[in-house]
Amino acid sequence: MSRALPKLSAKTLLSLPPAAYLFLLFALPSLMMLFASFRYPGEYGGLAPWYYLEEGSLSFDLTLENWLRLFESDIYLGLLIKSLFIALLTTAICALMAYPVALTIARARKGRRELLLLLVILPFWSNFLVRIYAWMIIFSPQGAMTIAINELRALFDLAPISLMFSNVAVITCLVYVHLPFMILPLYANLEKHDPRLLDAAQDLGASRSQRFWLITWPQALPGLFAGAVLVFIPSLGIFAIPDLLGGTDGIMIGNVIKQQFVESRDWPFGSVLSLVLTGFTLLLIGLAAHFGRARGSEGKA
Amino acid sequence: MKKFVCCFALTLCQFLAPQLAAAEKVLHLFNWNDYIADDTVAGFEAACQCKLVQDYYSSTEEMMAKLLAGGGDYDVVIPTQNAVEALIKQGFLMPLDKSKLSNIGNMASGFLNKAYDPDNIYSLPYAFTTTLLGYNETKLNELGLKADDWALIFDPAVLSKIKGKVTVMDDSEELLAAAMLYLGYSINDTDEKHLKEAQQVIIKAKPYWAAFNSSSYIKELTVGNIWVAHGYSSDMFQARADAMDAGRAFSVNFALPKQGAVLALDNMVIPKKARNPELALQFINFMMEPKNAAELTNVIGTGNPNAAATEYILPEIKSISAIFPDAELQAKLDTLAARTAKQRRFQGRLWTEIKVR
């Protein structure tokens, strides 16, 4: 007992800074946004006062209008669903592309493994926006890639296409930016797999696909899940990529939130949209975690 | 030991002195990007024995969002007239001490004492731009299209010839204003019915546009990816020069549509919490000197509210009618007024619908 107590408090102490961090930078701002979502926008931006003192009597100036506006037309929820779809697609493509890469790294020789990992991290050395601008040049109608694709299409009598300002450009860039976030957790997971399990399965007569689905897949799920969260959340809320590469209908929910805070200077409605996005994200992650756990324990059994 | 302390103190002084001096004499300017000539910056730094540090913005909304959220202690900001009005009403600006501004007499009287700041208590004009159409002259000539009409970006019959080669500004105020002009309304008409009509014009034209783009249209025009871009006159001036310098096989030009255009009169103001108001006044006075004001037009291609600057403006720039329009067109240029929260909210909703539909 006397030994368990200090151990517990040490653990608590260690978890205090991250807890305080989360409270200060996530919980508190979310609460502030929740409050802001019931207020009126200020005449020149910011928020209008939420109470007035008139002739000694206090009157409150709060409203449900901002929340009702969300359901006034289907555009906001429609856009949220579209953004969810794009984020899911990005996550799926990332997972498909990251798996073979992570597996190759995990099975590489020790010295080479470090080099391959370095190559995965290398893009982070240049700024995110610089890399997006590089893609703008690649996608440009005068760029070598577009010209090559269109020459190829011409051989089959297909009309030339434009890659810049399209959903293809947006999704390509979303995948490009987020791919390392899928590779790294997957690698960390696959590296720990015991190759002897696969050998044993093979000795016992399991086929290739049986070995993958019965042994590798259930073990890889936690890594895949971690990667999916790291890819899905940022791609859901992103606004820079659709802003720079998207066409006239390329916007996502993040762009509308940015528009509320910057262009319309409508903080209350921006808060409503942000909270809905945060809520949706937490809900989806919760659901995924729940089913992931159920599948995981099933696999073990 | 004493010697050592002395040495240490001296070294410390050496390290700190330049920083202290620099801390005293730095002018923090919050400006539009590409909105001052490099030579002018160097000239001011030499005149004031100080450093000029610039931060940039690319839209009024961006600038307002940063200032109103309390960001940046700038000494001078260059807001557009409707933003000046909003900043004054917010109590954000410091009255200008006219006794320190000896060059005030150089300014053209037509740009002074405007409704957004009567008697120029808080602001003095810096330069003006118009929002117009930049275009690939060679391509439009081939297609037989004219750029002096908003129909070029709004009329589907015209647009069908340049489908996917047009960008418009990613800016609700500017684009709605252009559509209002195309419909024959005033840009400050806040009638919701008229604004909805403008929204419909935009939605019908949207399938023909490549993108909403306020950030890279200079490049897209000069590279030849885009043939028509809706944007600021000073940007188009730069695109024209860039295409010439790069020796492209085509030329870029720009024109004011005959229905009129948005005029943005940018002003110099000093925020109340400026750290260096004396230096700020010195900068404002410096920019009102005819030669420095003229440099802005010669290098950046802006319109000039400084009457005394005219004689220093290069003749080849004076002849560009989009920068120096004739009286008839000049009368059709109008400035955007500040919008109320309710109006902004309505426009914001129209804009989201435009972006989604």
Contact A248 B210 (CB under 8 A): yes
* Chain A residue numbers touching B90 (CB-CB < 8 A): 44
Query: Closest residue of B to A82, CA-based?
Result: B356
Distance between CA atoms of B157 and B150, rounded to whole angstroms?
13
Q: Is A99 within the bounds of a domain?
A: yes
Q: CATH code at A179?
A: 1.10.3720.10
In A, residues 132-171, which contact B (CB 8 Å cutoff)?
136, 140-142, 162, 164-165
- Classify B34 in phi/psi space as left (phi over 0), alpha (psi -120 to 50) or beta: left
Sign of the alpha-carbon dihedral angle for A16, A17, A19, A23: positive
**Is A185 at the interface with chain B, CB within 8 A?**
no
Q: Tell me whether residue B85 is annotated as binding.
A: no
Query: Which of B168, B204, B352 to mutate against chain A (most A CBs within 10 Å)?
Result: B352
Min Cα distance A263 → chain B (Å) is 5
Same fold: B2-128+265-322 with B129-262+335-356: yes
Contact B89 A243 (CB under 8 A): no
Burial bucket for residue B37 (CB in 10 Å: 0-12, 13-18, 19+): middle
Cβ pair A263, A93 in contact under 8 A: no
Identity of the residue numbered B268: M
Contact B348 A259 (CB under 8 A): yes
* Chain A residue numbers touching B224 (CB-CB < 8 A): 142
Distance between CA atoms of A184 and A199, rounded to whole angstroms?
25
| Residue B51 φ then ψ, to 5° | -110, 140
DSSP one-letter string for B45-105: HHHHTSEEEEEEESSHHHHHHHHHTT----SEE--BHHHHHHHHHTT-BPPP-GGG-GGGG
Q: Is A219 within the bounds of a domain?
A: yes
Which pLDDT tens digit goes with each residue over A59-112? 788 888 899 988 888 889 999 999 999 999 999 999 999 999 999 999 999 889
Cβ pair B122, B93 in contact under 8 A: yes
Q: Is A204 within the bounds of a domain?
A: yes
Contact A246 B211 (CB under 8 A): yes
Domains identified in chain A, total number? 1
Distance between CA atoms of A128 and B304, rounded to whole angstroms?
38
Min Cα distance B110 → chain A (Å) is 28
- Identify which of A142, A165, A264 has the shortest CB distance to residue B211: A165
Provide the 3-class DSSP secondary structure of residue A276.
Answer: helix
Chain B residues with at least one Cβ partner in A under 8 Å: 59, 61-62, 64-65, 68-69, 86, 89-90, 164, 170-172, 206-207, 209-213, 215-216, 223-225, 338, 340-341, 344-345, 347-348, 351-353, 355-357
**Is A75 at the interface with chain B, CB within 8 A?**
yes
* Chain A residue numbers touching B211 (CB-CB < 8 A): 164-165, 246-248, 250
- Classify B301 in phi/psi space as left (phi over 0), alpha (psi -120 to 50) or beta: left
Domain B129-262+335-356 belongs to what topology? D-Maltodextrin-Binding Protein; domain 2 (3.40.190)
Q: Is A206 within the bounds of a domain?
A: yes
Question: DSSP label at B298?
Answer: I
Q: Tell me whether residue B172 is annotated as binding.
A: yes
Cβ pair A241, A170 in contact under 8 A: yes
Torsion of CA B102, B56, B21, B10, to 10 degrees: -170
* Chain B residue numbers touching A141 (CB-CB < 8 A): 225
Query: Closest residue of B to A248, CA-based?
Result: B211
What pLDDT shows up at residue A294? 65
**Given the DSSP bridges, would you call strands B252-255 and B123-136 parallel, antiparallel or unpaired?**
antiparallel
Query: Which of A44, A69, A249, A258 to mutate against chain B (most B CBs within 10 Å)?
Result: A44
Which residues, other chains included, contact B354 with Cβ-Cβ below 8 Å and sequence gap of 6+? B199, B202, B203, B206
Which residues, other chains included, contact B64 with Cβ-Cβ below 8 Å and sequence gap of 6+? A44, A45, A265, B79, B83, B86, B87
* Chain A residue numbers touching B136 (CB-CB < 8 A): none
Q: Is A177 within the bounds of a domain?
A: yes
Distance between CA atoms of B50 and A117, rounded to whole angstroms?
48
Q: Is A232 within the bounds of a domain?
A: yes
Query: Which of A139, A263, A271, A273 to mutate against chain B (most B CBs within 10 Å)?
Result: A263
Min Cα distance A93 → chain B (Å) is 25
What pLDDT shows up at residue A1? 47
- Show pLDDT as tens, one digit a residue, over chain B (357 residues): 444 444 445 444 444 444 444 445 899 999 998 899 999 999 999 999 999 999 999 888 889 888 887 777 899 999 999 899 989 988 899 999 999 999 999 999 888 998 899 999 999 999 999 999 999 999 999 999 999 999 999 999 999 999 999 999 998 999 999 999 999 999 999 999 999 999 999 999 999 999 999 888 999 999 999 999 999 999 999 999 999 999 999 999 999 999 999 999 999 999 999 999 999 999 999 999 999 999 999 999 999 999 999 999 999 898 898 988 888 888 899 998 888 888 988 998 899 999 987
Q: Up-side HSE of residue B237: CA atoms within 13 Å toward CB?
A: 25
What pLDDT shows up at residue A248? 87
- Identify which of B59, B61, B212 has the shortest CB distance to residue A248: B212
Distance between CA atoms of A292 and A298, rounded to whole angstroms?
10
The strand ranges marked E within A157-205 are none
Distance between CA atoms of B251 and B224, rounded to whole angstroms?
9
The strand ranges marked E within chain A are 51-54, 57-60
Cβ pair B189, B180 in contact under 8 A: yes
Domain B2-128+265-322 part of CATH 2.160.20.10? no
Q: Is A39 within the bounds of a domain?
A: no
Min Cα distance A177 → chain B (Å) is 21
Per-residue pLDDT at A291 exceeds 80: no
The residue extents of the domains of chain B are 2-128+265-322, 129-262+335-356
Per-residue pLDDT at A299 exceeds 80: no
**Is A269 at the interface with chain B, CB within 8 A?**
yes
Which pLDDT tens digit goes with each residue over A227-251? 999 999 999 999 999 999 998 888 9
Q: Is A207 within the bounds of a domain?
A: yes
Helices A28-36 and A267-300 meet at what angle, rounded to 10?
Answer: 130
Query: Closest residue of B to A78, CA-based?
Result: B356
Of residues A24 and A44, more confidence is placed in A24
- ipTM (interface pTM): 0.78
Task: Give the range of the structural domain holding residue A82, as residue numbers without chain letter.
Answer: 77-250+285-300
* Chain A residue numbers touching B347 (CB-CB < 8 A): 264
Query: Closest residue of A to B70, CA-based?
Result: A46
Sign of the alpha-carbon dihedral angle for B1, B4, B10, B14: negative
Contact A265 B61 (CB under 8 A): yes
